[in-house]
Structures are given as C-alpha cells and as structure tokens.
Amino acid sequence: MSSFDYSLWPPNLSPTQLETLTLQATTYAFAHGLLYLPSIYPQPPAPNSAIHAPISLFPSPFPNKLFLQAKRFQRIYNVLYSRIAMDEEFLDQVMGAETGVGRVDDFIGQLWKGWKQLREQGLVQPLQLGIFRSDYMLHEPSERQHSLKQVEFNTISASFGALSERVSELHRYLFGLTHYFGVSPYLRSDKLPDNNTISTIADGLAEAHKAYGVPSSWILFVTQPNERNVFDQRWIEYNLFQRYQIRVIRQTFEQLAVSATVEGGTSRLCVSCFPDVVPTGFVEVSVVYYRSGYVPSEYTTPTHYLTRFLLERSRAIKCPSIALQLAGSKKIQEVLTQPTILERFLCDKQRGEVFGDQDIRSIRDTFMDMWGLDIGEDRLTPDSRAPAEGRETHGVHRAREKSLSLVLKPQREGGGNNVYKEAIPEFLDKLDPAECEAWIAMELITPPEGVGNYLLRPGSTGNEAKTAVKADVISELGIFGWSLFGRDGKVSNEAEGGWLLRTKGKESNEGGVATGFSVLDSLLLIDD
C-alpha cells in the first residue's frame, strides 16, 4: 500500500508564490538554454529569437524503487536491441517487404528494400551505434499497487536528453532558492536525482568516433529543415567539443543530397562545406547521428531515400543503421511479447552475455498485452492475408471488443499517429484488411489518479505572456542508454545514463513535447 497520496500533488500555492516560481522558472530557462526556436517558417539562417521549452513548475512524484528498476533494465535493453539489429533473418521475417510489415507499409518497405540491396552489395562498416530511450509509465490497475510498464523503445532520434538535464537542474535551483515555500515535506534535495543525459549521449558518440579511428574526422548530425529543437542537439555538440575536441557538422537530407559523397575504394563519407570553414572544403565523417529520418514526411522525393542509402553504404558508423531503426518499430515491440522471443535474444551464449530467468521475467513484466491486428486464433498465425469474405481477423475482432481499453499503433514515430479508445471501431471499419499487419493493438496503461502539476507553456512567438496552469496530469519516464556493437554478434560497449520525464494533461492521449502535448518535467523520488 502506498504511503504517498498522489491525489494531493502538487501542493497548493498562493497567487504570489505561483507568480514568483513562474518568473524564476522562465528567466532560468532563458539563461540556461532550456529553449526552443519559435514556430517561424522558414527559419532564418541564424536564430534571432527563442522561446522557453514547455516546463512544469514542480517535479513530479515517482517511486524510487521503480526508477532504479528502470535504470537497471536499460542495460538489458541495450543488449537486447543490439542483438535484434544484428539478426538479419529475424528482421527480414518481421519487417521485410516480402514476408513482413514492409509488404503493407510503404515507408518500412522502402527502408528494408534499400537495406537488403546494400547487404547484397556488401556493407563495409561492421559497427553500429544505438542511442536509446526506453519509455515507461506507472501502472496502477487496482489498490494503489504500482508497477512499471513500457510505452515504447526508441532507437532513432531519442530526443530531449539535453533539455531534460536542464529542467532537472531548474527544479533543483527552484528548491534551493525558495524551498518551494515549505509547501510539502516530500520536497527535499536528496529526492531530486542527478541527471547526466548530455554526457551519456556524448560518451556514446565519442566511443563510436574513437572506434572509427580517424581523430580528425567529424560527427554528422542529420537534422530536419527548420529544426525548432536545436538547443537540445547543440548541448550534445558542445559537450563533444569541450570534453573530446570532436567537431560536428549539421546538415539536412536536402543538403546532403548535394554535399555528401562516398569515396570509391575507401568508402569514406565526405561532406562538403565552405572552404573558409574547413580549408579542404570537406570533412570526413566518423559517425552519422540521425536527429531526423524517422517519418515518411522526411522522405518527400526518391532522392531523400537515395541519400539515406548513400550514407548507409559508407564506412561511417551509423546511429542508427537502417537495421536498428527497423528494430525499434512497434511491430518488433509486439513480437517481443510472444513466447520464447526474449529468450532467443537474451539466452544464446554465442551472442555473448547470457541473462537469467529472473532478468527475462522482469523485462516481460514491463510489457502490456499487445497483439497484431493480423493475428489468428493462436496469436502467432497471421490470418489477414486471405481472410474469408466479410470476415475479420481475430486480431481486429479482439480490438473491437476491447476498444475502450486500447490504443492502436502504426509503425511511426513522433506522436500524433495513434488511434485511441472510442475512435477505434470506426477506424477499423475503414481499415483495409491488407493493412492490418502494419498495426498493433496495445492495452492502455492505467496511471495513478488525481496527480497534478503546474504546466508552463510559452507563447508561439515569445511575446505572449503565459502563466502556469494547474492540471491533472500523466507522466512518462524515459531512460537513456547507448550501445556500440558489430555484425559478429557482440556488443563492444554499452552504458545507461540520464533520464527524461514528460508530463501532459490527463485529457491528452498523445505525449510528444515537440508536438505540443507534453511539458518537460523532472523526478521527485518517493518511497512507495
């Protein structure tokens, strides 16, 4: 039984106290790079204004035991997803355009076909880098017994690592400055955990850069056009240079289509730049770090796919490779819930470290019930490929029956793609049976009731005054980690470090910060 009453959070503030915290929080954010670019399109070549990121005024309560559990699990997940990315046969079966999701999802199919062709030609770089984030929510189905349930696992462009570190520092500052006016005995400095996400991500990139073996090479950040979340990326860039003297070049797919070349013979990836920036007029790339490339809208022409494949066939280490991006799909998450699949990847001595039954049970306990819309009665047999006339698959039928407790997910990242609860039956009515394989159904997580916070969002231009709004909220914890691994089946190095807490109004189904649903938050660890 919990000793902490979530329904009493956050403590009440007087108008003066709220105004004081809001002023201190916003000025701290501007002074410490807790920022976004405003939504002005197109963005100017150099930023000339900024808005603070959406933030909470209080840290949010989270059981210390489950926080430590999530950190411990990350080391297992680092290895698990590295091994999935190295298992070409498994990925071909589940995600391929011949037998898997790629048959019915054009975006996945395009990536897989390009990857298959590159494999046939011969990939020259055996190493891959993964920068991961495993996202969880508290699950409280009854009697206030909390458990940790995974929302998803991110293998590409796992964002907000840097800004999450900044917001945890903000809350420590507010506590040190005001002690939050003594409104809660739970607010103590030893309950606000350190957050080292920036150095963790930089360490992973630096380890891959070192493995590449050319100290003078640069790391390439592949970014979106008109990127608003640029400060989250810049903090990593600054850390790489300050601690490792590693330089970064930032380019979009559009720019790389013109500037990127792969040398014959050496397979070096070279990116051209202005001669007055680099005397040679180009830089050699050690690591390709994708902060874009995860949604179809970023591949608007065939040239964008060709550019992705050009980078993939180079000697540079990719973060992630196409294989690792495919491994992070929702379909893989669903397949991992099936019997024997975790054991396939975590119990094979030939792959390296073997994990015990307790570790596997603990990981499996974080899974919600999931299934593909194409499944048959035995859960493992797809039956949507040739359904009887007018007959639904078992997966679709089950989704209709349980719709009010479900979310449907496609193979997409970035928020705004899912279908929830009441909207599910109508969506299923319109879903082409051939597309069932591209969707999974997932039981909704039940978070604690009555939790609140003060949410502070900026104006779209930075000129609009905003005040913190008290709201009932749901929080999602992300744990960061990285892994450097090769095609020989072995993980060279991996680490866990840093975390992200995103908090949204309870009325919102989606949870992205960049898409405007959530705010950046930090942890208040409680004994639960």
| Tens of pLDDT, residues 109-160 | 999 999 999 999 999 999 999 999 999 999 988 766 889 999 999 999 999 9
Task: Based on the residue annotation, tell me whether 268 is a catalytic residue of this protein.
Answer: no
Token code pair at residue 408: 């449907």
Beta bridge partners of 382: 375
Residue 491: helix, strand or coil by DSSP? Answer: strand
Has residue 460 got a pLDDT over 70? no
The pLDDT of residue 388 is 47
**246 appears as a binding residue in the annotation:** no
Task: Based on the residue annotation, tell me whether 351 is a catalytic residue of this protein.
Answer: no
Catalytic residue among 83, 313, 318, 330: 330
Q: Where are the domains of the chain?
A: 6-358+446-526, 369-443
Assess contact for 437 and 104: CB atoms under 8 A. Answer: yes
Assess contact for 489 and 344: CB atoms under 8 A. Answer: no
Task: Based on the residue annotation, tell me whether 64 is a catalytic residue of this protein.
Answer: no
Task: Based on the residue annotation, tell me whether 312 is a catalytic residue of this protein.
Answer: no
Has residue 279 got a pLDDT over 90? no
Residues 296-338 pLDDT 10s: 999 999 999 999 999 999 999 999 999 999 999 999 999 999 9
Task: Based on the residue annotation, tell me whether 133 is a catalytic residue of this protein.
Answer: yes
Percent of the chain having pLDDT more than 90? 76
Residues 169-188 pLDDT 10s: 999 999 999 999 999 999 99
Cis peptide before 320 (omega within 30 of 0): yes
Query: What DSSP character marks residue 369?
Result: P
Catalytic residue among 33, 352, 414, 462: 414
Which CATH superfamily, name and number, covers 369-443? Glutathione synthase lid domain (3.30.1490.50)
To 5 degrees, how large is the angle CA 183–CA 187–CA 189?
Answer: 140
Of the pLDDT bands very low, low, confident and very high (cuts 50, 70, 90), residue 466 is low
**466 appears as a binding residue in the annotation:** no
Catalytic residue among 60, 82, 134, 154: 154
**375 appears as a binding residue in the annotation:** no
* DSSP track, 30-84: HHTT-EE--S-SSPPSS----EEPPEESS-EEEEHHHHHHHHHHHHHHHHHHHHH
Task: Based on the residue annotation, tell me whether 414 is a catalytic residue of this protein.
Answer: yes
Residue 365, C-beta contacts closer than 8 angstroms, at least 6 positions apart = 147
Catalytic residue among 284, 312, 413, 496: 413
Task: Based on the residue annotation, tell me whether 89 is a catalytic residue of this protein.
Answer: no
Is this prediction's pTM over 0.85? yes
Catalytic residue among 502, 511, 518, 522: 502
Task: Based on the residue annotation, tell me whether 263 is a catalytic residue of this protein.
Answer: no
Measured CA to CA, the distance from residue 508 to residue 457 in angstroms comes to 15
**152 appears as a binding residue in the annotation:** yes
Token code pair at residue 344: 């396939």
The pLDDT of residue 299 is 96
Give the other-Cβ count within 10 Å of 8's Cβ. Answer: 14
